[in-house]
Structure 1
Amino acid sequence: MPVFIASLNSGSNGNCYYIGNEREAILVDAGISCRETEKRMARLGLSIKKIKAIFISHEHSDHIRGLAVLSRKYSLPVYVTEGTARYCGEIPPEFCIQLKSYAPVNIGSLHITAFPKHHDAIEPHSFMISSGEIRIGVFTDIGAPCEHLIRHFNQCHAAFLEANYDEEMLRNGRYPFFLKRRITGGKGHLSNEQALKLFVDHRAEYLSHLLLAHLSKDNNDPELALRLFEQQAGTTLVRVASRYQESEVYCIDPEITSVTDKPVINQITGQFQFVLS
């Protein structure tokens, strides 16, 4: 069964990622408003009724801004660590489920594992989502690659991977010194160069899609980042997840060797169809 992924928004103004199969789906983070989440999913032809849970990576506002309203409106369980939950606003207690490192969670036929990462938050986690043999990683807000990240990235068929800043742009940019040090200090964000090294050194030969995520508005350039990765991409389709709009929906299916990156929606069935290149 194929897996469908999309970025609904990616950046310091809000983060929200969709991962699902034909039966059920989850959101990782809910950093845009409930209304905007609904609008973007509708434009993509994704049914919000398929969303069965929300998983929260950490408590920063760009990851939880729409969480409380979205959870209440659709009665969605929220998987979040105990420490993070204290900073996530008014989540109804009956919808709040404790998340623990490496304790697998099953949502229908989706299997989700959270693991710790380096970031200046209470209990920050990244996620690996699997459906059958297909594995999707959501790896953003990472100060530095660690053994947890490397081991999971190496297993991915597709991944959202942070490429937050270009080192030269940040060094010569307008940010004050303390903020530059926070970003580069090991618990901030991953640079283009760090993300590229992870991609080149540790990607699986079957990694079909890479979405560059959480790009800085001031210290990065989407075209620069994309060009950098495409030079090393090989057979991997690389795209930038925008901070202004939703991405396309991408079909992850190891049995399909080549596929266009723009889905076609069957107007009769409402199902996504992907045309072989």
Structure 2
Amino acid sequence: MRLCSIASGSSGNCIYVGSESTHLLVDTGISKKRIEEGLRSLEIKGEELDGILVTHEHADHIQGLGVFSRKYEIPIFATPGTIRGIRDYKSLGKMPEGLYREVHANSEFMIGDIAVHPFAISHDANEPSGYRFEQGEKRVAVATDLGKYDAYTVENLKNLNAVLLESNHDLHMLEVGPYPYYLKQRVMGERGHLSNELSGRLLCDILHGDLQNVMLGHLSKENNYAELAYETVKLEVTLGDNPYRGDEIPISVAKRDVISQVITV
């Protein structure tokens, strides 16, 4: 199974997950051109996709969905609340008929040879979800836009081989940065985003010997930067109540405008 970030950040998100025979996107929050360029670098054509899984209806996760869907008519998998939010997002334009497939948190389903397990996340959207993917003994997950995490979140991220995990902001940068007060409160709130510190603590809870790759994603352009996210998460692992040190874990940071390395498990 392969995991690759085509784009990840507060300005747009699109993640590829696939096997030899099944090709999926998680979110299409960038332009059709950029999605196609990312897929081309993976040697995949748009028409070869088997599904688009949408985490929630915010613009940085769906703004390319209308144009992309009108061209390729790929099935769109999302919770009922997210589908409702997509339908209400007028700037997407008219969507092709019959593409939506309702999914539900904690109800696994198959796309090709990949088992998809949606799980609920805490974010200020209609019915947001993260996604865990399994193919045989191989397991990867995409978990961003987490205002908080709890034992349920940890349970859904256990025993992974690779994960794309939110590391959205540095608390100090957010506190002294340019955002208005209400927006700072939203980002820091229980339905906002995970800070670097909380991302590291969540990682401590899911670490195990077979977690081969951790990709930090959804970094804020205004309130974070890659080196800070990387060093903070690494430090949390080193200081945390676990048998690992941060420099023992293969951690990378997904960029907003450059395709990531391809993680193969």
TM-score, normalised to structure 2's length? 0.90
Tell me the equivalent position of 1:27: 25
- Report whether the alignment pairs 1:63 with 2:76: no
After TM superposition, list the pairs within 5 Å mapping 1:210-229 onto structure 2.
210-229=214-233
Q: Is the 8 A contact 1:211 1:241 kept in 2?
A: yes
Q: Which residue of 1 aligns with 2:101?
A: 97
What number of residue pairs does the alignment pair up? 250
- Alignment of structure 1 residues 193-208 onto 2, 5 Å: 193-208=197-212
Amino acid at match of 1:188: G
Whether contact under 8 Å (1:117, 1:148) holds in the other structure is: no
Residues 46-97 of structure 1, C-alpha deviations (whole Å, 9 max, x = no match):
4434420001110001101111222232221001122221232433231111
Aligned equivalents of 1:148 and 1:17: distance in 2? 23
Aligned residue number for residue 183 of structure 1: 187
- Which whole-Å deviations, capped at 9, do the CAs of 1:119-157 have from their partners, x for residues lacking one? 000001111011111111100000001222111222211
Cα distance change, pair 234–47 in 1 and its aligned pair in 2 (3 A): farther
Structure 1 stretches lacking a partner, 5+ long? 253-277
Q: Which residue of the other structure, out of 153, 159, 182, is the alignment partner of 2:157? A: 153
What value does the CA root-mean-square deviation take over the aligned residues? Answer: 1.5
Task: Identify the residue that residue 76 of structure 1 maps to in structure 2.
Answer: 74
Distance in 2 of aligned mates of 1:230 and 1:44: 29
Contact 1:84-1:122 at 8 Å conserved across structures: yes
Corresponding residue for 1:169? Answer: 173
CA distance, structure 1, for counterparts of residue 179 and residue 194 of structure 2: 16
Query: Which aligned segments of 4 or more residues in structure 1 are displaced greater than 2 angstroms?
Result: 43-50, 89-93, 227-236
Secondary structure of the structure 1 residue equivalent to 2:24:
strand
Task: Give how far 1:160 is off.
Answer: 0.5
Task: Select the residue among 135, 141, 154 that pairs with 2:145.
Answer: 141
- Aligned-pair identity in percent equals 36
Structure 2: give runs of 5+ residues left out of the alignment.
87-91, 236-244
Stretch deviating more after TM superposition (85-94 or 203-212): 85-94
- Would the aligned equivalents of 1:157 and 1:204 in 2 still touch at CA under 8 Å? no
Match of 1:237 among 246, 250, 254: 250
Letter in 2 for 1:10: S
Which residue does the alignment assign to 1:248?
261
Letter in 2 for 1:233: G
Q: What SS is found at the alignment partner of 2:231?
A: helix
Tell me which residue corresponds to 1:123: 127
Counterpart of 2:4, as a letter, is A
**Matching residue of 1:261:** none
- State how far apart, in whole Å, the 2-side matches of 1:198 and 1:140 are: 12
The answer to whether the Cα contact below 8 Å between 1:6 and 1:18 also exists between their aligned partners in 2 is: yes
Letter of the 2:81 counterpart: G
